[in-house]
Structure 1
């Protein structure tokens, strides 16, 4: 984006500020006395690991309460990106529940082992090390916070781009049972049940279970199966113990099973050899890889399973000191088939397995004094991530070798990391505060990678024991340790009780690693791995409340220098020199330098006693400054992926009291400008700017026992691409495919509390 365009977007933002002030929570007439002043409800967050007002936190953070998310019919966390500035959240290509997240131009698109995400995801303070099964459905949630910019001095795991905090509800001190059901278009049927029970004054148990089901937006035209469907069973259970007023213990477990059908892209071009035309519906596909002999070893079902257990202990030693321990173990297993060609033939099909596990331990010491408040902590992570897959080039193999060709890859990356971190806030005066912190990280990566091409239906690992090996292209073990110290310093000043300005510097760090697709016999340098990436970010902001609490605005401007950003990719190769690509190798580029700067605005405005509005925007200028290839800077040919230069959102909520309750009428509009899917533009799968419109009507009984809602999403049925694959020279069919966001849907919801 050119500077003039950026300035124009910033100017547009400035014009929008007076209109872009809104509230997610309205105040009904039942809640306010006739003679009492009305104002916006205060938003409390724990962005700094302590409960405080959003307006007092010198960090760019967006908070979503559970009640607001339920009122809007939010299905999963990707919908947060509609209103959170500078945020892109989407299902990774060819997956239903793997998360791709970018904040302020920083993220990671590749979900393979070895590639750590640039945006950290926490569930109840538990770090989710892998993106598989991380596209969380929203149910039984207390709130979700999205923190923008580097995070590391307050959180267990360092994050270059930002963090998402998913906080589930604490158990009630009264017996409670909630039942919610959803019925909607495309045969949507959901059932969510949550309950809690106080066994005694010091012991509570509870949990929630969700069955989330929907038919497909399209179909597999070759076999008649549903495409883009949803079949998820998820649950959580917890126990809370309070032996004394100063001690709190929580034990919890969770489980998710995703049996949704494999998701395949839609072809953007006719088949180059088969001649099959592009389908009329972008949600339909010719794909049939799950029924091909080459994928029989995995069966026909997509299968994703994730589970975890954790324990947290919080002890208030005295009014000034609190100690906390967070222990967690998680694992997930995924098997499925990617049909890269999206055709009924095996031109480029991939049966694959992801197998991940992690153990983490975090200790915190929180201190609250008259002048000094803060936290110091220790974090340990022991994680293992592996992927194993075939790339079956059946059609090419039969033409070139008289037999299917399967390229087998096994990659295992182990991580052992520990860090010491801390962040303190010192009140210099009643109005001026200084926050300072730092993080020391020690990250060790161990890699075990093997690759070999086979003639035969598959490799031996995927059901062809008699396949003929053509010799390994990669076979190596390697280890490397990365160390770093990352500082943070922020000054904030209260101009008055309602207005705070802040400014500061923070540094993000992500360790290097190894490419699990690296072919060391072809490119020996892959044994050395790729380098860490760092981000130096300067940020200033203003947080203000006006008009007797009716107006709340938060503005942030930032300027970041991104160095050695890790960009993985796959390069087709011609192994026998016959002019036809018959395989690929992994390629990770540490792009030299990039500059990302921008302005973000969020506002809440209580227009009347019953009408509220929320608005947000971001204007980003993201430029790659240096990208060297054989000594030549090709930065002008590269772009930062998944980062729209402009986003905006406006949402209205009108609450009307009726005789037996309250009816809320909600509507919102969101806009995202154009994005590129990869670092090199691919017009067939890149997405132009687009708008989405959503609306809801929700009735809540006077005693809050019953709710009935009607939610419409993407009301104008906009077609928009979320991701894609670009393999025009691998296989014979010009394999470029695109994945799309949901079409128009309508859902009726029913809830009751006992």
Structure 2
């Protein structure tokens, strides 16, 4: 029996088992409730789980009613769990990977259900959309932001297109900030912790009239490094981030709401360098004992130390035309800039150093109409984005400096609509569609200079020019991709507490151009370069069951899905021989459309309020993602030798929480003790298995002790993360044939402790 058939049988068995368990429990609870209505009536409201409201379908619905795979985290949950940034959410999310990208502190690598994007270079868009109050963030730079000033975070799994401004093929992460209240509100959160952690967030808002409210947030996050750079003497894996947000809200009348917002952040953390996993090929440099230590010598790019700045302004207008009809306009402009010194070899010599600059800007406009009638609900809209992604960098390697510059424009517009029809009180049908037009233009320049001091464009005006390998303008590189993607779903209220749904959705991500392409040495023809890489497409069928048991004290959500994934975009870098001497002396970007893949999976989430003091929550997911066609070198199908990166087959988590009353200094309050364990199966870093870099399965143990005053004005918490001090890889570089050999890994955080104080004035 083949591995694929074994996986299919395992998935089918797991699905049937889950369905059988739920059917047994559902039947048991239903019979018990039918036999003893009096007992149900006497159940304490204290054991009921509070309803969670989400806007996954662009209108407010409870989490258990919405027929979509979505997980939501309230600001209260995030605070009590001590989650600092978005990557901390991934441990409790089914089939989801969120981590800081290799060589960076704040660029996000995100994968949901096997779909994502690892490379943050210009020309690539993530398969997972990041949204800040309905504003799509086109680039991943700065997306690993500390969570502050939010009402909730929603994570949607599967293709998103008929409900969202920008088409995202794998899923979406939404930050939803809270609207200001009618009274003056001031909040302070302070944190101190291990490795010299000192954080502070101050938020204030106030009405200045009956129709105008203003507010803002100032935040600072600092921490020493987990390791040292023995060459520069600087901390490695440290943190130094400043952020601010200002908002003004206008309510001229009861039908009109306007919000003007501006935000900015600056990451001044040191460059984050990897840990060498092999002895230096030339120097014989040994492997360091601490995985957070490095010998990297590069700490500047264009004379700047590592820095990521981003800012944006936006305008939201909501106009209630009629009680059941709302018009919404979302206008936004964003910019970011990154100075990124990347030392691939992590040694004190200039062996494989890449100082880089990334710049991105975008303008987007979305118009929506939302209808919430008694039996018909839906949304329709149009979306436009005009974005530019620019990068330039030197590759300082083997006595030369190879300069690369990529400038890529994206202009895209789309029309989308999704409507739900209540055909009876228990059955509803939703249909939707989206038409997308993506236009891309690119210019790419690649030049070689003698010596490792760098190119003129990267700060060395005396560089000696050798030759030009690639010089293509936007007149040469342009493409337009068009696609209609439909969606249909049905929802059946099997009982008052059970909601069954089925959906079929298509997703689409436009093609583009790899800004690192090289026409010399990589066997890339001019015609192939001008074509670029093709769009990728996915179609997903999903069957789900959302249930409540025991007077709403037990909630379960189960989803089984199957996806057909075509023309998968695989960006990567390969070592190349540019002078024909049989020795690799540079590298180039090679982005291919792998072919075809099939993805099957199951996701189970459950929450139980066992007593008014004790609660449990957990997650279990399994995914079988496999390539069925992968055309490699020589036009050979190597699908059997390829794997999905950043997609562990199994993930699971379990969290327990116990509350009890505890007055402190005469103030009534509640003490909460919680502990959680998260499991992640073996994770591949690339499409080709790489034992030295791939991460075996591991577990992470967290715990928190939190006291909250009865009026929620004071909260004090002690949070321990990764208490078992597990070392686990989250990213890496693999260029074993270049120079000293660049095989380096980046790791998740070690054991940390944080003491937090939340004070509401």
* Separation of aligned partners in 2, 1:208 and 1:326: 21
SS, match of residue 299 in structure 2: helix
CA contact (8 A) 1:298 1:335 kept: no
How far did 1:11 drift? 5.5
**Does residue 159 of the first structure (1) align with residue 168 of the second (2)?**
yes
Q: Retained in 2: the 8 A contact 1:520–1:527?
A: no
Cα 1:320–1:341 shift into 2, 3 Å: same
Q: Once the two structures are superposed, what CA deviation does each residue of 1:678-728 show, in whole Å capped at 9, x if it has no partner?
A: 111111111000000000000011221111100000000000000000011
Aligned position for 2:109 = 100
Equivalents in 2 of 1:133, 1:36: separation in Å? 43
Aligned pair partner of 1:464 in 460, 476, 485: 460
> Structure 1 residue 485 and structure 2 residue 484: aligned?
yes
Q: What residue in structure 2 maps to residue 599 of structure 1?
A: 602
Q: Could you tell me how far apart the structure 1 residues matched to 2:479 and 2:426 are? A: 46
Q: Select 1:632's aligned residue among 627, 633, 636.
A: 636
Q: Specify whether residues 531 and 5 from structure 1 end up closer, same or farther in structure 2 by C-alpha distance, changes over 3 A only.
A: closer
Of 620, 625, 630, which residue of structure 2 is paired with 1:622?
625
Matched-pair contact (CA < 8 Å) for 2:47–2:610 = no
**Residue number in structure 1 paired with 2:556:** 553
- 1:134 corresponds, among 116, 126, 143, to 143
1:692 equivalenced with 2:700 (yes/no): yes
Distance in 1, matches of 2:706 and 2:327, equals: 42
Instruction: Report the Cα offset of residue 497 of structure 1.
Output: 1.3
Q: 2:56 aligns with which of 47, 52, 64?
A: 47
Of 363-372 and 347-356, deviating more is 363-372
Shift of 1:146: 0.4
Number of matched pairs: 728
Alignment partners' CA distance in 2, 1:200 and 1:53? 33
Distance 2:47 2:120 in 1: 47
Q: How does 1:13-52 map to 2 (within 5 A)?
A: 14=17, 36=45, 38-52=47-61
Which of residues 718, 731, 748 is equivalent to 2:755?
748
Which residue is 1:188 aligned to? Answer: 197
Instruction: Report if the CA contact (8 A) 1:20-1:603 is conserved.
Output: no
Note the alpha carbon deviations across 1:194-223, whole angstroms, 9 max, x for none: 111011221111111110000000000122
Residue number in structure 2 paired with 1:27: none
Give 3-state SS (helix, strand or coil) of 1:81's partner. Answer: helix
2:316 aligns with 312
TM-score for both structures, normalised by structure 2: 0.94
Q: Does the residue aligned with 1:277 lie in a helix, a strand or coil?
A: coil
Residue 36 (structure 1) shift = 4.8
Distance 1:35 1:635, change over 3 A: closer
C-alpha distance 573-20 of structure 1, shift in aligned 2 (>3 A): farther
> 1:185–1:745: 8 Å Cα contact kept in structure 2?
yes
Match of 2:184 in 1: 175
CA distance in 2, matches of 1:7, 1:606: 34
Query: C-alpha separation between the residues in 1 aligned to 2:534 and 2:494?
Result: 43
Q: Distance in 2 between matches of 1:35 and 1:106?
A: 43
Post-superposition shift, 1:85? 0.3
Aligned to 1:508: 507
Q: Bigger shift: 505-514 or 367-376?
A: 367-376
Aligned to 1:539: 542
Partner in structure 1 of residue 364 of structure 2: 360
Question: What do the CA deviations read for 1:616-636 (whole angstroms, capped 9, x no partner)?
Answer: 111000110001133321101
How far 1:38 moved relative to its partner?
3.2
What corresponds to 1:25 in structure 2?
Answer: none
Would you say the 8 A contact 2:222–2:240 is kept in 1? yes
Residues 1:409 and 2:404 are matched in the alignment? yes
Q: Tell me: CA distance 1:348–1:325, structure 2 relative to 1, closer, same or farther (3 Å).
A: same
Q: CA deviation at 1:37?
A: 5.8
Hey, what does 1:64 align to over in structure 2? 73
Secondary structure of the corresponding residue to residue 186 of structure 1: coil
The 8 Å contact of residues 6 and 620 in structure 1, kept in 2 or not, is answered as no
Name the residue aligned to 1:26. none
From 557, 560, 581, the equivalent of 2:584 is 581
Q: Report if the CA contact (8 A) 1:289-1:345 is conserved.
A: no
Q: How does 1:235-634 map to 2 (within 5 A)?
A: 235-290=244-299, 297-299=302-304, 301-393=305-397, 396-397=398-399, 405-456=400-451, 457-477=453-473, 478-520=477-519, 523=524, 524=526, 525-629=528-632, 630-634=634-638
Q: Which deviates the most, 464-473 or 126-135?
A: 464-473
Assess, with a 3 A threshold, how the Cα gap between structure 1 residues 667 and 9 changes in structure 2: closer, same or farther. Answer: farther
- Worse-matched range after superposition: 495-504 or 353-362: 495-504
Distance 2:366 2:44 in 1: 49
1:2: how far off? 4.3
CA distance, structure 1, for counterparts of residue 178 and residue 244 of structure 2: 13
Show structure 1 runs of 5+ residues with no match: 22-32, 398-404
Whether 1:4 aligns to 2:6 is yes
Distance 1:36 1:508, change over 3 A: closer
What is the RMSD computed on CA atoms of the aligned residues?
Answer: 1.7
1: CA distance between counterparts of 2:348 and 2:8? Answer: 45
On the 8 A contact 2:729/2:748 being kept in 1, the answer is yes
Q: Whole-Å Cα distance in 1 between the matches of residues 599 and 711 of structure 2?
A: 49
d(CA) in 2 for partners of 1:583, 1:145: 42
**2:36 aligns to what?**
none
Q: Is the 8 A contact 1:20 1:614 kept in 2?
A: no
Q: Match for residue 206 of structure 2? A: 197
Range with greater deviation from structure 2 (580-589 or 720-729)? 580-589
TM-score, normalised via structure 1 length:
0.95
Q: Is the 8 A contact 2:11 2:601 kept in 1?
A: no
1 or 2 for the larger relative contact order (CA 8 Å, sep ≥6)? 1
SS of the residue corresponding to residue 77 of structure 2 reads: helix
339-348 or 458-467, which deviates more: 458-467
Structure 1 residues 68 and 10: CA distance shift in structure 2, 3 A? farther
Contact 1:475–1:520 (Cα < 8 Å) also in 2: no
